[in-house]
Structure 1
Amino acid sequence: MNDLIQIGPLNIFVPYLFYIAGIVASLVVAHFLIKRLINYDFPKKPADLMIEYWIVFIVIWKLSYFINYPRNILNNPLAVIYFDGGTLGLLLGVIGIVIFGYFQLKRHNITIPIQLLLILQATFVFISFDQATSFLYGFDLYIFIEVVSYIVLVGILFRLVKPVTLIKVFQAYRWFVITWTLFRVLQNEIHLYTDTLIIVLLLAVLTIVLEWYLNQKVKGEN
């Protein structure tokens, strides 16, 4: 299938439409998730907060391209439209969200568990749409199962994470890490000896350690 749509003089890359749809869907899910789990007046509209998260992440991710190619700031500044900062950009984008989240906590008293939950659901939703772009080129059973798995995980967030605590959010993050890693291995995108897999497993172990620490803290308070 042709992944370009021509509208007048414009050529639109079809996967970009999936990405935009994924971002919009994450705003809708955030609205209903907060409505389902929060019993008090939320200090900001969930969709507005999600838009701010996305803007912070995308702007940093895109502009970090100039870290690798500083000469293009003057020579070809529009290159940032077509390129991004790669892995470094993703990392800096995450750091940007962490800093932004800290200000949301201080200024609007939006708790860390709630913010992590919103970011997690956005990750589930966006990756579902991102993976679904492969259906433009043909059906893949593993990708279909992966997309369904993320949809199920979003449903579990609605059903199980109440009240919202750090322990439950970390458990949800661990299941995301396990699911993502499993399908990357099944699709031969990473192998059992790669650095990527080692990092992912370390993150999974970190969530387990944090859960244990938080459980011990709760027991001590009781």
Structure 2
Amino acid sequence: MNDLIQIGPLNIFVPYLFYIAGIVASLVVAHFLIKRLINYDFPKKPADLMLEYWIVFIVVWKLSYFINYPADLLNNPLAVIYFDGGTLGLLLGVIGIAVFSYVQFKRHNITIPVQLLLILQAIFVFIVFDQATSFLYGFDLYIFIEVVSYIVLISILFRLVKPVTLFKVFQAYRWFVITWALFRVLQNEIHIYTQTLFIVLLLAILTIVAEWYLNQKVKGDHSN
């Protein structure tokens, strides 16, 4: 299949259309998720907040390219359009979202659990569209099952019981980590003894520990 389609003078990489659709879909899901789970006046439009997350992440992720190639900042600044900051860029993008989330908490009193939930649904939705690009080149059973799994996880988010707490959100993140790692192994993208898998499993363990701590804290508060 031809990866490029021409619209006038522009050549558009077809998978990018899926990525854009994934971002737009995450805005829609954010709107209905907040409407379903939050029983107070939300200080911002959920779709607007979700769009701001994406803008922060993409800008930081893209501009981090110049950390690896500082000379291009002056010699070829348009290179950032075609390249990104790689793994470092992803990490800095996550840090950028974390800082932005804290600002939203302080300025608009949007709780951290709610923001984490919005970010998680965006991850689910985007991965669905990202993996769906593989169907452009042929059907893959594992990818199909993975896409269905994330759609199921999105539907489960809508079944969370009010109020949204850190404990519930950590549970959802744990299942994301487990699902993501499982399908990466099945598709031979990471192997059982690779450093990446160890990091993923460590994150899963940390979420379990955090869940236990939060659960004990909630029980302690109720007993008092």
**Do both share a fold (TM > 0.5)?**
yes
Equivalent position of 1:159 in the other structure = 159
Q: State the Cα distance separating 1:160 from its structure 2 match.
A: 2.5
2:175, 2:56 → 1: CA distance? 26
Q: Which digits, 9 at most, give the CA deviation of each residue in 1:155-202, with x for residues without a partner? A: 000013432111010000000000000000000000011111011011
Amino acid at match of 2:99: I
**% same residue:** 89
1:158, 1:215 → 2: CA distance? 21
Q: State the Cα distance separating 1:111 from its structure 2 match.
A: 0.2
2:163, 2:142 → 1: CA distance? 33
Equivalent position of 2:42 in the other structure = 42
Equivalent position of 2:95 in the other structure = 95
Equivalent position of 1:69 in the other structure = 69
1:19–1:130: 8 Å Cα contact kept in structure 2?
yes
Structure 1 residue 129 corresponds to structure 2 residue 129: yes
1:163, 1:154 → 2: CA distance? 17
2:2, 2:147 → 1: CA distance? 22
Once the two structures are superposed, the pairs formed by residues 195-206 of structure 1 within 5 Å of their partners are 195-206=195-206
Amino acid at match of 2:49: L
Ranges in structure 1 where 5+ consecutive residues have no aligned partner: none
Q: CA RMSD in A?
A: 0.7
Amino acid at match of 1:215: N
2:37–2:160: 8 Å Cα contact kept in structure 1?
no
Equivalent position of 1:6 in the other structure = 6
Q: State the Cα distance separating 1:35 from its structure 2 match.
A: 0.3
Ranges in structure 2 where 5+ consecutive residues have no aligned partner: none
Equivalent position of 2:143 in the other structure = 143
1:162, 1:188 → 2: CA distance? 39
Q: Which digits, 9 at most, give the CA deviation of each residue in 1:62-105, with x for residues without a partner? A: 00000000000011100000000000000000000000000100
Q: State the Cα distance separating 1:215 from its structure 2 match.
A: 0.9
Q: Which digits, 9 at most, give the CA deviation of each residue in 1:37-56, with x for residues without a partner? A: 01111000000000100000
TM-score by length of 2: 0.98
2:163, 2:70 → 1: CA distance? 47
1:104–1:110: 8 Å Cα contact kept in structure 2?
yes
2:77, 2:188 → 1: CA distance? 36
Q: State the Cα distance separating 1:14 from its structure 2 match.
A: 0.3
Aligned residue for 2:159, secondary structure, equals helix
Structure 1 residue 177 corresponds to structure 2 residue 166: no
Aligned residue for 1:159, secondary structure, equals coil
Aligned residue for 1:160, secondary structure, equals coil
Once the two structures are superposed, the pairs formed by residues 21-40 of structure 1 within 5 Å of their partners are 21-40=21-40
2:20, 2:135 → 1: CA distance? 16
1:44, 1:183 → 2: CA distance? 35
